[in-house]
A and B are shown apart, each in its own frame.
Chain A
Amino acid sequence: MSSSSSTVEENNTVIDQPVMVKEPSIAKFREEVVNWGLLYDSVATIEDPDFRINAELAKLVRDARKSIVDAFDEGRPFISNNYCTAPEVSKAMGLPSYMLFEAPFIPSSKEVLGDQLDHTAAMGLGPDLCTAIRSGIYYVEQGLVPLPAAMIGFIFPCDGMPMLHQVIKHNKFWKDMPLFCPDPPYFQDPRSIDYFANELKKMVSFLHNATGATLDMDKLKEIIDESNKQYLLWQEYNELRRARPSPHGYDIGGAKCFCVSQMFSVGEPDGTEWFGKLVKLAEDKVEQGLGSTPQEKIRMFWFDIMPPNWADELFPILAQEYGAVCVMDMFGNSPYTTIDTSSEESIWQGMAKRGLFDTPMVRQAIGPAEGFLDDLTRIVRDYEIDVVVWPGHMGHKESLGTYGIIREACKDLGVHFLDLRVDILDGRFVEKDETLDKFARFFKNKGLA
């Protein structure tokens, strides 16, 4: 396989010289490198293997952050990218990356998120705009994230995302930054894969023009081969969550597997090693019949992103009071297929399929409602779900459109359906006690408590 960037239709904005901008917004990332490092240093002292596997993530987050800080300090380009736009590509081009709207999902933001969101109201943003987008806008406007050499935009799956790009185009520091948005087709068919594969090739040309970096196809193959290992281990781990009792609940697995494979350790052996440890840990627990709670009675499927900032105020109580355990969630679901790296074309097609059909939120929310239905049916069956919890996140308007269909499908499947209506990021949107009360009344009315 030759080392080259791919030939594509050239219709992107071409700039003469790579953009290299320095500005002071790197401070927060520097701080995070230190803090994640300190957390990782404490891993050896943690005895509980469940706590330890989570704490070991600190190294992967620290390393990802450090790659940005190092690039900044050394004057090398780094970019802003997304999980569904082939992060393997930028990795293979040697471009460190971060996601612009990731901040509210990272535990270190929990304490300040409320104030930040209040500030976005003062900035004039409507409170009905998805919290993740509002947060991303806040970080750009306040200079809390470093200006990348280029950005891969994220215009799917939700309609709110372009708002972030509009803000960027009006921000005095960010407005001249090269921006490219791969265009996602609506349908899930072979034509869409061909189309999106070509969009990804355009993305390579764009990144080359914007940063000077070139794509080494051998390196890309190596990264994808490693990422294939991660996805297979994730799949293996998910099989183990089908056990009764499920080895883990809300706090391990799911979102973490997503973060490792698609954000912080894309196609890296360190990430694969973490997955290997996770599988071994779960296998041991399954063999010993150990669950996340001593008395598992109710198995729940959380049909959205797991709330990163208030889950630990809800799920431990549900487990303790009702034996209710979250055995699967939308980001924890792993429908990924491995990418065939035998030819360049199969690599592009595989990455297109992964970005369009496999990645969470995109998989469920883009295209007709069939995607939601298929996943729901299979998960309810495979994980022996008793209750489908529909968080109804205020920002996921595209999902809310399928509410009636999902409720009806749950009726057909004979599984209970709980409609919550929360903000998965901002715990203040609905009082914790109100949410707990909803669960309590629901479990009682359905004869589950």
Chain B
Amino acid sequence: MVDKIEVANLPVSLFDLHIEQLRYCIESLNNGERKMTQYDVRSTPQEILNGLPIQVAEDHRSRLILRKNTFLELGNPEAGSCAFPIWSNEPSLVSDGRITLIGPDIPETPDASLPFGQVILLYGEQLSKAQQMALEQKQYDAGLIDGYMIRSAPGRVWGRVSREVVSKGLNFEMLGKVLIALFKQQIPQVESVELLFVTSSKADVEQLAKIAGGVKRIGDGLVKETWAEKGFDLDACIDHDCSTCHEVEDCDDIRDVVQLAQQTKRKRKAGQRKTR
């Protein structure tokens, strides 16, 4: 039986422990062996979007990048990939506008296939499970940058960057700015956004993946609760609670048939023994 997350029993700020784990992870990665860069963005979402040298699709359509036009790829599963949003109702846990990059930046690594970790930390007093699905979907919105494609690979951020957009100046600072602007602009409950990008190694990205596992379990629980409130049970029959299952009659019928078949078989065998 798989551990079931009873979201109702968890503390109000569901992911605070994971944010603490993340802070510890960043500290351990920042031991002088890796390049670490930090940016602090203070502009409003509109100022960010107006001041970009690159286009962000207003029609919400992502643009295709062909292999021959590719400058580099981020998060190819073979190279290492991990991405997740994580949120809190506690303002002190998220440094608004902070972008942390551990590892090389985009323009430094032409033709590379870089490991990629992307964690989006969010604060909002009103953030709740109702926004969980929207936050999970929004993490792919960097793909609206003309020249940055998020490949259609479920459950992961696998990015492809074009030569053209790099020549216009795309780097992780700019990528982070776009994500900050889009989250704040399009999800009203989001008040602060902080970003972590990791490109240093597959092993470093896998450290994030350990935290991601716990985050996903809670996130899935939140999504299930939201659906349950709409009257849909995503788990269907997995609780094995026959008293509430609408298929109980069918199951009982099948049991009866199996019992009958076994009885018949036994009788037949007994009859054969007598005949002998």
Chain A interface residues toward B at CB < 8 A: 186-187, 189, 191, 235-236, 238-240, 242-244, 283, 286-287, 335, 337-338, 340, 368-370, 373-375, 377-379, 381-384, 401, 404-405, 408, 412
Alpha-carbon distance A404/B230, docked complex (angstroms): 11
Tally of chain B residues near chain A (CB < 8 A): 28
Alpha-carbon distance A382/B151, docked complex (angstroms): 8
Chain B residues closer than 8 Å to A287, beta-carbon distance: 66
For residue B253, CB closer than 8 A to chain A, the reply is no
Contact B236 A379 (CB under 8 A): no
Alpha-carbon distance A338/B79, docked complex (angstroms): 11
Contact A401 B77 (CB under 8 A): no
Q: Report 23 cross-chain contacts, Cβ distance below 8 Å, ordered by A residue.
A: A191-B2, A238-B152, A242-B64, A242-B152, A283-B66, A283-B67, A335-B154, A337-B153, A368-B235, A368-B236, A368-B238, A369-B232, A369-B235, A370-B220, A370-B223, A370-B234, A375-B154, A379-B152, A382-B152, A383-B152, A401-B236, A405-B227, A412-B133
For residue B199, CB closer than 8 A to chain A, the reply is no
Q: A187-B238, A368-B236, A369-B235 are in contact. List 17 more A-B contacts (CB 8 A).
A: A187-B2, A239-B64, A240-B64, A243-B64, A244-B61, A283-B67, A286-B66, A340-B78, A369-B236, A370-B224, A373-B234, A374-B155, A377-B137, A378-B154, A381-B137, A405-B227, A408-B230
Alpha-carbon distance A404/B235, docked complex (angstroms): 14
Chain B residues closer than 8 Å to A236, beta-carbon distance: 67
Residues from 56 to 84 in B contacting A, C-beta threshold 8 Å: 61-62, 64, 66-67, 77-78
Alpha-carbon distance A369/B238, docked complex (angstroms): 11
Q: Which residue of B lies closest to A192 (CB)?
A: B2
Contact B232 A408 (CB under 8 A): yes
Question: Which of B62, B234, B235 has most A Cβ within 10 Å?
Answer: B234
For residue B140, CB closer than 8 A to chain A, the reply is yes
Contacting residue for A404 out of B62, B232, B238, CB 8 A = B232
For residue B145, CB closer than 8 A to chain A, the reply is no
Alpha-carbon distance A244/B152, docked complex (angstroms): 15
Nearest Cβ on chain A to B149's Cβ, whole angstroms = 7
Alpha-carbon distance A390/B62, docked complex (angstroms): 25
Q: Which residue of B lies closest to A239 (CB)?
A: B151
- Report if A405-B238 is in contact (Cβ < 8 Å); known contacts: A283-B66, A286-B64, A381-B137: no
Alpha-carbon distance A381/B61, docked complex (angstroms): 9
Chain A residues closer than 8 Å to B137, beta-carbon distance: 377, 381
Chain A residues closer than 8 Å to B155, beta-carbon distance: 335, 374
Residues from 143 to 157 in B contacting A, C-beta threshold 8 Å: 149-155
Alpha-carbon distance A9/B78, docked complex (angstroms): 31
3 A-B pairs with least C-beta separation: A382-B152, A337-B77, A369-B234
Contact B238 A186 (CB under 8 A): yes
Chain B residues closer than 8 Å to A340, beta-carbon distance: 78
Contact B77 A338 (CB under 8 A): yes
Chain B residues closer than 8 Å to A370, beta-carbon distance: 220, 223-224, 234
Nearest Cβ on chain A to B227's Cβ, whole angstroms = 7
- Report if A338-B64 is in contact (Cβ < 8 Å); known contacts: A186-B238, A375-B154, A378-B152: no
Alpha-carbon distance A157/B153, docked complex (angstroms): 22
Nearest Cβ on chain A to B107's Cβ, whole angstroms = 23
Chain A residues closer than 8 Å to B235, beta-carbon distance: 368-369
Alpha-carbon distance A286/B236, docked complex (angstroms): 42
Chain B residues closer than 8 Å to A383, beta-carbon distance: 152
Alpha-carbon distance A384/B57, docked complex (angstroms): 13
Alpha-carbon distance A186/B2, docked complex (angstroms): 10
Alpha-carbon distance A266/B66, docked complex (angstroms): 26
Alpha-carbon distance A283/B68, docked complex (angstroms): 10
Nearest Cβ on chain A to B121's Cβ, whole angstroms = 23
Q: Which residue of B lies closest to A369 (CB)?
A: B234
Q: Which residue of B lies closest to A244 (CB)?
A: B61
Alpha-carbon distance A383/B154, docked complex (angstroms): 13
Alpha-carbon distance A368/B236, docked complex (angstroms): 7
Alpha-carbon distance A238/B149, docked complex (angstroms): 13
Nearest Cβ on chain B to A350's Cβ, whole angstroms = 11
Contact B232 A405 (CB under 8 A): yes
- Report if A235-B151 is in contact (Cβ < 8 Å); known contacts: A186-B238, A189-B2: yes
Nearest Cβ on chain B to A181's Cβ, whole angstroms = 19
Nearest Cβ on chain A to B257's Cβ, whole angstroms = 13
Alpha-carbon distance A383/B67, docked complex (angstroms): 18
Alpha-carbon distance A218/B239, docked complex (angstroms): 43
Chain B residues closer than 8 Å to A378, beta-carbon distance: 152, 154
Nearest Cβ on chain A to B230's Cβ, whole angstroms = 6
Contact B236 A239 (CB under 8 A): no
Chain A residues closer than 8 Å to B66, beta-carbon distance: 240, 283, 286-287
Alpha-carbon distance A243/B64, docked complex (angstroms): 6
Contacting residue for B153 out of A191, A286, A335, A373, CB 8 A = A335
Chain B residues closer than 8 Å to A405, beta-carbon distance: 227, 232, 234
Alpha-carbon distance A435/B150, docked complex (angstroms): 35
- Report if A368-B62 is in contact (Cβ < 8 Å); known contacts: A374-B155, A381-B137, A383-B152: no
Q: Which residue of B lies closest to A363 (CB)?
A: B154
Alpha-carbon distance A375/B155, docked complex (angstroms): 9
Chain A residues closer than 8 Å to B78, beta-carbon distance: 338, 340
Contacting residue for A235 out of B149, B153, B220, CB 8 A = B153
